[in-house]
Amino acid sequence: MNTVMTLAQQSNATVIPSQAITAGQRGSFVYVVQADSTVAPRAVVSSRSVEGQAVIDNGLKPGETVVTDGQVRLVPSAKFQIKNSLSD
């Protein structure tokens, strides 16, 4: 028998897929897609990860798009094209 308990809830949390976070020499970061379709690295602070989703405490604003696959091939200001999105 499995039991699930909710220990806490956090309103207005910014949540992203855990695989978007990359560990770098200066800490964790994500690549954020800019308005001109280029990417920029952004330092983030995550307090926890649950079921593949990371809660971001600092570094992102709601609604920003992050790269979740292929980060190892990216460099700052690289042009980026979305191949598959959740809204498709």
Residue 37 placed within a domain: yes
The reported pTM is 0.78
pLDDT in tens, 7-64: 566 667 899 999 999 998 999 999 999 999 899 999 999 988 888 999 999 999 989 9
Whether the CB-CB separation of 68 and 53 falls below 8 Å is answered with no
Report residue 74 as tokens.
Answer: 């990216």
37 CB-near residues (< 8 Å, 6+ apart): 79, 80, 81
**Band of pLDDT at residue 77, cut at 50, 70 and 90:** confident
Please report, for the domain that includes residue 53, its CATH number: 2.40.420.20
Return d(Cα 84, Cα 88) in angstroms, integer: 7
pLDDT at 28: 95
Domain coverage including residue 51: 14-71
pLDDT at 18: 95
Residue 49 placed within a domain: yes
Q: How many domains does the chain have?
A: 1
Highest mean pLDDT among 34-43, 69-78, 79-88: 34-43
Q: Is 22 exposed, middle or buried (0-12, 13-18, 19+ CB in 10 A)?
A: middle
